Amino acid sequence: MELSSSDQELMTEINETLVRFIQSAETELQLEPMNSYRRRMAHKLGAEYKLISKSTGEGEGRSVCLSKTDTTAIPENLFQKRSIDRGIEIFYAKAGSEIVLRTDGSFGVSLKERDNRVLDRRTVEDGEFRIRENKIICKEDKNW
């Protein structure tokens, strides 16, 4: 399933929160209120960490509460980089712009991102580029 950029950002944020929680001495974590779709994603992520999850609250204040178990752990494959590939889709930028591809799958003009959040960085001379296998590809590249 293809996630929207805001959903992908939420997943990344929840993963980072869960890693900090698991590494802490805390035994319970109450997430911020969110809609039912996002709560479902939080429950699924919690299951990957072997956490107990439950929804709490009512209406717009409903949120997810996660608790550690004896088997709670950070999944081994969590830090493996996923491959970002947008196929033959062509993107456009001002000719000569430096474009960055970020680890969350977003891309655009460089905003002085921290290096640990950038998969690839490239100046796009003619203004057209593609995203293939975690790389910014230009027309002159053999795999255009």
Asked whether the predicted pLDDT for residue 1 surpasses 50, the reply is no
CATH number assigned to the domain comprising residue 22: 3.30.1370.50
List, in sequence order, every residue forming a beta bridge with 28; answer none if it has no partner.
67
Asked whether the predicted pLDDT for residue 51 surpasses 70, the reply is yes
pTM of the full predicted structure?
0.54
Q: In what order do the strands lie in the sheet with 52-56?
A: 28-30, 63-67, 52-56
Domain extent at residue 31: 5-75
29-47 pLDDT per residue, tens: 999 999 998 899 899 889 9
75-115 pLDDT per residue, tens: 876 655 567 888 899 999 999 999 999 877 888 887 776 66
Asked whether the predicted pLDDT for residue 6 surpasses 90, the reply is no
What is the CB neighbour count within 10 angstroms for residue 103? 15
Backbone angles phi, psi at 76, to 5 degrees: -60, -35
Query: pLDDT exceeding 90 applies to what percent of the chain?
Result: 57
Q: How many domains does the chain have?
A: 2
> Is 86 a domain residue?
no
Asked whether the predicted pLDDT for residue 4 surpasses 70, the reply is no
> Is 114 a domain residue?
yes
